[in-house]
A = this chain, B = another copy of it.
Amino acid sequence: MSKKHNFSAGPCILPQEVFEKSAQAILDFNGIGLSLLEISHRSKDFVAVMDEARAIVKRLMNLGDDYEVLYLGGGASLQFAMVPYNLMKVGGKAAYLDTGTWAAGAIKEAKKVGTVDVVGSSKEENYSFIPKDYKVGSEYDYFHCTSNNTIYGTQMKSFPEVDTLMVCDMSSDIFSRQLDFSKFDLIYAGAQKNMGPAGVTLVVIKKEILGKTGRENMFSILDYSQHIAKESMYNTPPVFPVYASLLTLQHLENNGGIAGAEARNEAKAKLLYDEIDSNPLFETFCVKEDRSLMNVSFKITDENKKEEFDNAWKAAGISGLNGHRSLVGYRASLYNALPIESVHVLVDVMKSFNKN
């Protein structure tokens, strides 16, 4: 079967080169006569993978030696627990921005550690915008936000100046746009969007922020310091997901880095949003100024045309366009690896409904 136009929200499309190289590594890794899946994580071949996977993140993000990079198992949902466990002082409190389902999930877990103040929320408006009128003072141990909201198609275009640590869940837009990453004290991201397959989570952390909570007897596996001390090999890492993430980041570095990806992502998003804005059959769920470059969530204005539209995009070889079950409608995810040709195919289908 021929390759589809994959708009899946995640796990999602990765560069074809990543599929080919990672499949080859499973058959014979680096020509050593062994599969990537059957070698020790302490072997020099895999230690080199982990070292480079950590180093390339700092190069791409332009971060210095005050930051550490970890590849952890357990998903971004484990970070919902690890962030307050490692950063919220005993008896302390944190400020959270509530911009969607995943932000709310992070808030729920942080409340199990201490006091959480939700300094802004768009929940009452079905998360259709990013709250902006809030202040975060030094009374908070940290501020937590979610940079992009896959379900609602919103994205933080700028980040607030806060008088405390800045923590961001960048799972769904990491490596998609240029940011001053040094403004963040901790960044985490489930790999399964722009940086690799499911099964590994990136954590980028400013070393100096750790060890200040007064929390004793921390579980080792939930303690960032332990992972840092063991250079992200505290225990057996998720070998294959780490390797495929490295391949993805190497592909990014070889194709203009984050700046190159950003330019491509802006072009793809403009193409699709322009069609939505000019075609009366479609409209987005969110306000214009907060539209995501990664996930274009939209609905059809005439339900009578839905079946015909669904048949048309499926016939065009498009996959993964259905919206999240909580919003319904459609969601076109335009992650780094999605070629603009796929967006053209979708827009052409949409245009044909405008002419009708």
Contact = CB atoms under 8 A, between A and B. Distances in A.
A32 interface: yes
Q: Interface SS of chain A: helix, strand, loop or mixed? A: loop
A221 B74 contact: yes
Contacts of A28: 1
B6 A80 contact: no
Interface in A93-150: 108-109, 111-112
Contacts of A75: 73, 221, 235-236
Interface in A234-279: 234-241, 244
Number of chain A interface residues as a range: 35 or more
Contacts of A11: 37-41, 236, 239
A166 interface: no
A204 interface: no
A1 B40 contact: no
A22 interface: yes
A153 interface: no
Per assembly, the copies of the chain total: 2
A319 B44 CA distance: 13
B221 A78 contact: yes
Contact of A8 (B4, B27, B38, B76): B38
A133 to B, nearest CB: 31
A138 to B, nearest CB: 27
B12 A38 contact: yes
Nearest to A35: B19
B199 A200 contact: yes
Interface in A200-214: 200
A-B pairs with lowest CB-CB distance, top 10: A199-B238, A1-B33, A74-B74, A77-B235, A73-B73, A81-B219, A37-B197, A23-B26, A23-B23, A112-B217
